[in-house]
């Protein structure tokens, strides 16, 4: 998996690209939490559930179906976020599903159950340049953890921030106020 530090890159950079006033800060915070949420499945290890099980790590919580259903359940909170149900669903879905996509680009593990429940196969991206993060906080603060951070800075944060800033810059340039009448 990519680390929790880097899973938040997608919602943060999406908010930068879309301009924060369009996405309420409370929804951005929720998106950050949601981008980490699929890894709740690591508790399966405590119950003796195998990593390779559909209920194990990178299983059903990393699927498109899980992300869509969870995001749909959040839609009634649109009045709390003072935005539309579509914005809540879309931002939540992207935040959740970005987790599985980033995990698919890592170079370890058993792949991601993207198409659960329709199939139980696990998938990797065609290239896997991101160093897989060790599970557990204690294991992260090691030489291996430093390699993961370097990899994530280059393959996750740099591209995400670049795209977010590019989107923000181009939206300012091409979406301007109408000319005032003289």
Kindly report the pTM of this predicted structure.
0.86
Is the pLDDT at 179 greater than 60, yes or no? Answer: no
50-9-150 Cα angle (round to 5): 80
Q: Which two tokens stand for residue 74?
A: 């959040």
Q: What is the pLDDT of residue 1?
A: 53
Q: Are 142 and 34 in contact (CB under 8 A)?
A: no
Is the pLDDT at 176 greater than 50, yes or no? Answer: no
Q: Are 168 and 17 in contact (CB under 8 A)?
A: yes
- Reported as a single tens digit per residue, the pLDDT across 49-108 is 999 999 999 999 999 999 999 999 999 999 999 999 999 999 999 999 999 999 999 999
What are the C-alpha distances in Å from 152 to residues 22, 54, 106, 136?
A: 27, 27, 10, 17
Q: What is the pLDDT of residue 169?
A: 85
Say which residues have a Cβ less than 8 Å from residue 66's Cβ, sequence separation at least 6: 38, 60, 96, 116
Is the pLDDT at 18 greater than 90, yes or no? Answer: no
- Reported as a single tens digit per residue, the pLDDT across 113-171 is 999 999 999 999 999 999 998 776 776 778 888 898 899 999 999 999 999 999 888 87
Is the pLDDT at 172 greater than 70, yes or no? Answer: no
Is the pLDDT at 21 greater than 90, yes or no? Answer: no
Is the pLDDT at 20 greater than 90, yes or no? Answer: no
Is the pLDDT at 177 greater than 60, yes or no? Answer: no
């Amino acid at each position: 998996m990519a680390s929790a530090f880097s899973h938040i890159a997608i919602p943060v950079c999406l908010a930068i690209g879309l301009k924060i006033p369009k996405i309420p800060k409370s929804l951005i915070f929720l998106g950050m939490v949601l981008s980490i949420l699929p890894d709740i499945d690591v508790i399966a290890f405590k119950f003796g559930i195998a990593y390779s099980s559909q209920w194990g790590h990178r299983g059903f919580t990393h699927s498109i179906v899980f992300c869509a259903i969870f995001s749909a359940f959040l839609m009634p909170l649109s009045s709390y976020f003072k935005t539309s149900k579509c914005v809540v669903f879309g931002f939540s879905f992207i935040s959740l599903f970005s987790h599985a996509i980033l995990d698919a680009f890592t170079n370890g593990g058993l792949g991601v159950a993207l198409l659960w429940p329709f199939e139980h196969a696990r998938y990797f991206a065609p290239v896997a340049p991101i160093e897989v993060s060790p599970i557990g906080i204690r294991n992260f603060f090691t030489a291996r953890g430093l390699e993961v951070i370097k990899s994530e800075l280059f393959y996750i944060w740099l591209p995400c921030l670049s795209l977010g800033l590019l989107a923000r810059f181009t939206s300012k340039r091409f979406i301007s106020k109408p000319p005032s009448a003289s």
